[in-house]
């Protein structure tokens, strides 16, 4: 496993990180606590040292509570990130990044995690009713109090990054990024590189689409959350499978799976620090960890680039 600096925080994170949304069980079927705990514990043997969760991962914080159970006796071996500013009211997400809410959620997250601090605390998403600078100021106070060692911002644009960084030292940025969603390459990635901010990306496999396991004739079951995205329908679906057919050939040459190929490409994109990879069973994070420790050849990268150009610009909805 390779490790990279978490911005200017002095900490290092693995290039493959565990995204702990799936273990909350809210959008994945067949999630059981024993598998979730085993998945987190498998990270220790794989060298995956970064666990990414959030206050709203679960109806009542299931993700954070499971992490607490899984890391007993190994707290110093993990770099934990959690987030505040979003919560559930029934089935609806509520954006609330007022200072008092961020403080309350941070302190509740610490209790759930069974720790007095986290290594990284994010603004989960900007609140349209609260200036980003106001939210950032409270996170700076939480860091000064030792409740988090570093601070990050997720799902923000470059002007919001600038406003945030003016009020609080910014160690990390968490956006969506994958082969088909590359908007941050134009502005956010260069900005972060220039300001020493780590970039930890989510959706590297685009909700499983780029993992290679779904075939053209796959019919997603009713209620599957992916059905709301155009990438899983019609012409977009067919174009994606034309791309996957080409990626399968390149993956076979490398001796790795399509998912490993895609994530390896992702973590070697300029400016990307780590890829947050969701898993709910140990075999899933073991497979994902196989994306680290090797590199594509120049020829293979060029062929991937051509395959992406042939696919054309997709119509991909924002996750937030």
Find the CATH number of the domain harbouring 145.
Answer: 3.20.20.100
Q: How confident is the model over 264-280, as pLDDT tens digits?
A: 999 999 999 999 999 99
pLDDT for residue 242: 95
Considering the domain boundaries, does residue 34 fall inside one? yes
Taking residues 138-153, what's their average pLDDT? 98
pLDDT tier at 25, thresholds 50, 70, 90: confident
Q: How far is it, in rounded angstroms, from Cα 107 to Cα 132?
A: 20
Structural domains of the chain, count: 1
Full DSSP string of the chain: --EEE-TTSS-EEESEEEE-SGGG-SS-TT--HHHHHHHHHHHHHHT--EEE--TTSSTTSHHHHHHHHHTTT-GGG-EEEEEESEEEETTEEEE---HHHHHHHHHHHHHHHTSS-EEEEEE-S--TTS-HHHHHHHHHHHHHTTSEEEEEEES--HHHHHHHHTTS---EEE-B-BTTB-GGGTTHHHHHHHHT-EEEEB-TTTTTGGGS---TT--PPTT-GGGGSGGGSHHHHHHHHHHHHHHHHHHHHHTS-HHHHHHHHHHTSTT--EEEEE-SSHHHHHHHHTTSS----HHHHHHHHHHHHHH---------
- Asked whether the predicted pLDDT for residue 72 surpasses 90, the reply is yes
Residue 221: predicted pLDDT: 86
- Identify whether 182 is part of a domain: yes
Q: Is 122 annotated as catalytic?
A: no
Query: Which CA distances in Å does 293 have to 2, 14, 96, 182?
Result: 7, 11, 40, 23
For residue 28, the model assigns a pLDDT of 73
144 — pLDDT class (breaks 50, 70, 90)? very high
Does residue 307 belong to any structural domain of this protein? Answer: no
**C-alpha 135: how far from chain center:** 21
Give the residue-averaged pLDDT of 164-182.
97
Q: Which of 57, 121, 122, 177 is catalytic?
A: 57
- CB–CB of 22/279 below 8 Å? yes
pTM beyond 0.85, yes or no? yes
Residue 30 pLDDT level (bands cut at 50, 70, 90): confident
Express each pLDDT in 116-126 by its tens digit: 999 999 999 99
Q: Give the pLDDT confidence score for residue 317 in this predicted structure.
A: 66
The residue range of the domain holding 146 is 3-209+258-295
Q: Is the pLDDT score of 98 beyond 80? A: yes
Q: Does residue 286 lie within any of the structural domains?
A: yes
> For residue 289, is pLDDT > 90?
yes
Over residues 280-300, the mean pLDDT reads 97
Is the pLDDT at 106 greater than 80, yes or no?
Answer: yes
How much is the pLDDT for 298?
97
In a domain, 178, yes or no: yes
Query: Has residue 249 been placed in a domain?
Result: no
pLDDT class of 222 with cuts at 50, 70, 90: confident
Residue 108 located in a structural domain: yes
- Residue 220 in any domain: the answer is no
What's the pLDDT score for residue 55? Answer: 98
């Amino acid at each position: 496993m390779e490790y990279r600096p978490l911005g200017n925080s002095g900490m290092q994170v693995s290039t493959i990180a565990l995204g702990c949304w799936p273990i909350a069980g809210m959008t994945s079927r067949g999630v059981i606590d024993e598998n979730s705990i085993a998945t987190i514990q498998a990270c220790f043997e794989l060298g995956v040292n970064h666990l990414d969760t959030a206050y709203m991962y679960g109806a009542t914080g299931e993700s954070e509570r499971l992490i607490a159970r899984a890391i007993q006796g190994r707290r110093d071996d993990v770099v934990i990130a959690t987030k505040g500013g979003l919560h559930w009211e029934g089935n609806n997400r509520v954006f609330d990044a007022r200072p008092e809410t961020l403080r309350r959620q941070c302190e509740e997250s610490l209790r759930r995690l069974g720790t007095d601090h986290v290594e990284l605390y994010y603004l989960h998403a900007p609140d349209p009713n609260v200036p980003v600078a106001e939210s950032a100021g409270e996170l700076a106070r939480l860091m000064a109090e030792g409740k988090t060692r570093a601070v990050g911002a997720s799902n923000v644009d470059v002007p919001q990054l600038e406003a945030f960084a003016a009020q609080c030292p910014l160690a990390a940025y968490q956006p969506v990024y994958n082969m088909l969603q590359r908007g941050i390459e134009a502005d956010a990635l260069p900005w972060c590189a220039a300001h020493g901010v780590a970039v930890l990306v989510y959706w590297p496999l685009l909700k499983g689409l780029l993992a290679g396991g779904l075939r053209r004739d796959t019919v997603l079951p009713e209620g599957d959350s992916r059905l709301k995205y155009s990438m899983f329908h019609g012409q977009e679906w067919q174009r994606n499978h034309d791309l996957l057919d080409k990626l399968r050939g390149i993956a076979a040459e490398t001796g790795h799976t399509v998912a490993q190929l895609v994530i390896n490409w992702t973590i070697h994109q300029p400016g990307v620090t780590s890829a947050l990879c969701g898993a709910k069973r140990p075999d899933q994070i073991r497979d994902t960890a196989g994306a680290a420790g090797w590199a594509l050849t120049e020829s293979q990268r060029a062929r991937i680039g051509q395959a992406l150009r042939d696919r054309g610009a997709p119509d991909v909805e924002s996750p937030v």
